[in-house]
Structure 1
Amino acid sequence: MSLKRLSLTYLLLLTLSFSVSAQISQFKATFIKAQQENKQVTVILTNGNTYVGSIISVEEESAGVETKDGVFNFRYDRIKNVKIYNPDDKSSGWRDNPSKNKLFITQTGKMLDKGSGYYQNTFIFFSNFSYGITNGISVDAGFSMFPGLGIENQMFTAGAKIGTSLNSTLYVSGNIKYYRVFDIDEGITSLFGSITYSKSQLDLTASTGVGFADNSSSNALLILGGQYRISERFAFLSENIIFPSGDAGSDALLSFGGRIIGSKSAFDLGFFGIEEILFPFVSYTIKF
């Protein structure tokens, strides 16, 4: 290994070490503050489990927390986030939403956390994998599994997403995705931009995008959607796609349903409708 490459590797490792150390120091400071103010904390582990409790002890590498399930000694390196519990805000003790970065089908302005991902199955026959490379970059890939069709007649997708938070309530993202639809030679590429306003238990998202195929592009689509979390385990969900039609008009694909939220999974059930046609939507997401 050359001296230059060795130096770059060392610098990268040093930067990562400082980042991890800073995060651990922040966790420890939050535990100390909660203990001094005699307040409870919400602890979210890297495996997705969430605990609420009172501080028993704060050590160099871990903190002891008394929860309703007993006393746990949480190592800082296994904590994803810790915050002081607000008894006036019931959602401050809720578990994370495994599907916070998407509506039924399309993406929101929110991103996956670094190192987290999920598998989503829709209508049994469609599978998709998403993974957060960093807090601002994620990738995804999917495929169909129609029985009786050869692999060359299945649908395949691949995409990437970048995004960031503008402040504590606004999130923006851009998404590019490639679709190979069954045995059609020319694939389809889509470009979308999204912005999400998030306040308390409500997320509102607006997106717009275009598709490209055969050296031509489509007219822009508009997507308006939202998610309202009424409890730790359930949220209402709506996703509405408005697309242009002939004579300067437009059509809308409307939807409404719910999301059942588990510690590592989410189950979406809803209905999509266009004009007088109504059809169900079923999807299951599991976090990894």
Structure 2
Amino acid sequence: MMKLIKNIIITLFLSILISVEYLDVVELNDGTVVKGTIIETKPNEYIKIKSGDNIFVYKMNQINLIKKEEIKGYKYQDPNSSRYFFAPSATPIGKENSYIRTTWLFIPSFGWGFSGNISTEIGMSVFPGAGIENQLKIFSFKYSSTDIDKKWQNSYGMLYLGQIEGGVGFIFSSFTSGDDDKNFSISPGLGYFRNENEFNFAENLTLVLSFKNRVSNSLSLITENWIFLNSDQTVVISNSGFRFFSRRLSVDFSWPFFMSSEGSGIGFPLFTFSYKI
């Protein structure tokens, strides 16, 4: 079973990294060149090509040459740009956009953009041997505002993880500077514990510093650093790694490190698969 999962992961990585996309190029007899996607062809009669928002129809006797041309530069955007690994960015999912996601294959979730600014995510773990009542439930909500002075964008939201009777959560705001390919986020927030109808909030803020840098068409480097500010000691969880992605699929791999005044340690590596529907 583990060998099969390993082969699937390797195949996904390779398919993302070596994928090449092309444009259709139509050269007319008068020298006009139209680039886009041929969406309909009737042999020896005509073709239809979509270029941007326009659709053109040309008879075959108007055409001198039809060829393929490799797309230069970045072919698509990161389909998972609304978050880093776990930490949010201020980037919205987008109106009516949705995705499915799973971490370690055992924690699936579904995200949906209700509008250009409002999005939510729900999920439940599927750990083998555990009943529904013992599975982890996940819920998050985020509101993203418009750009602040064209440099920063901000969002507000909450995350809950646990059982119906109780669990833990995080209320946050995020401030993001940059674009989808390279950005930096500062996310202050307040953690809380819930036991049925009783809520206990942390005495100190948690600060999350996140950064993403796209280094190729299908690869971004990501780091997110959770800083838990306490009166006794400050604990830092630094989670860094890679995001491999295509037009709709993204695969995250990261490895967290724990640091405090009492020592340090290495966490369990994280794998997350996301698919934009």
What is the TM-score with the length of structure 2 in the denominator?
Answer: 0.70
Counterpart mapping for 1:60-79 below 5 A: 65-67=34-36, 72-73=49-50, 76=53
Which among 135, 143, 149 is matched to residue 162 of structure 1? 143
Which among 176, 189, 214 is matched to residue 158 of structure 2? 176
C-alpha distance in 1 between matches for 2:207 and 2:144: 19
C-alpha distance in 2 between matches for 1:137 and 1:253: 28
Read off the aligned partner of 1:225 and give its amino acid letter.
S
- Which has the higher Rg, Structure 1 or Structure 2? 2
Consecutive aligned runs of 4 or more in structure 1 exceeding 6 Å deviation: 50-57, 68-71
Tell whether the 8 Å contact from 2:37 to 2:49 is kept in structure 1 after alignment. Answer: no
C-alpha distance in 1 between matches for 2:183 and 2:135: 34
Secondary structure of 2:111's match?
A: strand
Deviation at 1:104, TM superposition (A): 0.5
Q: Which has the higher contact order (CA 8 A, sep 6+)?
A: 2
Distance verdict in 2 for CA 1:54–1:278, change over 3 Å: same
Give the fraction of aligned pairs with identical amino acids, expressed as a percent.
23
Which among 188, 208, 211 is matched to residue 208 of structure 1? 188
The alignment status of 1:114 with 2:98, answered yes or no, reads no
Distance verdict in 2 for CA 1:205–1:56, change over 3 Å: farther
Describe the superposition over 1:249-274 as per-residue Cα deviations: whole angstroms up to 9, x where unpaired.
Answer: 20100121110111111011111111
RMSD, matched Cα: 3.0
Higher helix share: 1
C-alpha distance in 2 between matches for 1:52 and 1:114: 28
Tell me the residue number matched to 1:195. Answer: 175
C-alpha distance in 2 between matches for 1:51 and 1:195: 36
The alignment status of 1:261 with 2:261, answered yes or no, reads no
The alignment status of 1:221 with 2:206, answered yes or no, reads yes
Secondary structure of 1:152's match?
A: helix
Deviation at 1:280, TM superposition (A): 0.9
Secondary structure of 2:269's match?
A: strand
Comparing 102-111 with 192-201, greater Cα deviation is found at 192-201
Higher strand share: 2
Deviation at 1:245, TM superposition (A): 3.7
- Structure 1 unaligned spans of 5+: 1-49, 58-63, 79-89
What is the TM-score with the length of structure 1 in the denominator?
Answer: 0.67
Read off the aligned partner of 1:210 and give its amino acid letter.
L
Which among 279, 283, 288 is matched to residue 268 of structure 2? 279
- Structure 2 unaligned spans of 5+: 1-20, 40-47, 56-71, 259-263
Secondary structure of 1:276's match?
A: strand
